Amino acid sequence: MDKTEITRENVIEAENKLFSAQLVSNVDILDQLLHDDLLAVAPTGQIVTKEMDLNSHKTKTMIIEDASTEIDDIKITGDTALSIVTMTAKGKVMGAPLEGKFRYFRVWKRFDDTLKVIGASFMQLP
């Protein structure tokens, strides 16, 4: 396989690995999957960096108690893929309970032999 090629299977594998790492706050795996220059937009409009995301897991300000995901769509263009994922989750953010369905939009890019998230946004669904 060409080192810049991305397949649907690659993206599904990366999404599943990311989800598993989020569930247990595995900062080492998250560090591998998130690009250093990651920019994400939270439902509040706040811009979130990789450092901020990793810190929320390190300090346990974001705790996922129970969750499941469904990959809604994946579009691939060259060495970049867009994924849309719905997560049903229950947990706490800064001690406040949080429960519901969330839609994630992630931009994955291939770097050598790995995929990394370079951009994302997420929102709570009604």
Q: Identify the DSSP state of 125.
A: -
The pLDDT of residue 94 is 76
The pLDDT of residue 4 is 64
Place of tokens 């953010």: 93
For 119, list phi and psi in degrees, rounded to 5.
Answer: -160, 150
The pLDDT of residue 3 is 63
Instruction: Indicate the pTM of the whole model.
Output: 0.90
Neighbours of 89 (CB within 10 A): 18
The pLDDT of residue 15 is 97
CA distance readout (Å), 84 to 15, 16, 27, 72, 122: 10, 13, 22, 5, 10
Beta-strand pair 47-49/34-41 = antiparallel
What residues are paired with 41 via a beta bridge?
47, 121
DSSP letter for each residue of 17-77 = HHHHHHHHT-HHHHHHHEEEEEEEE-TTS-EEEHHHHHHHHHTTSEEEEEEEEEEEEEEEE
Domains and CATH numbers, the chain: 8-124 (3.10.450.50)
The pLDDT of residue 39 is 97
The pLDDT of residue 1 is 45
pLDDT by 10-residue block (mean), the chain, 126 residues = 78 96 95 98 93 93 90 96 96 86 96 94 94
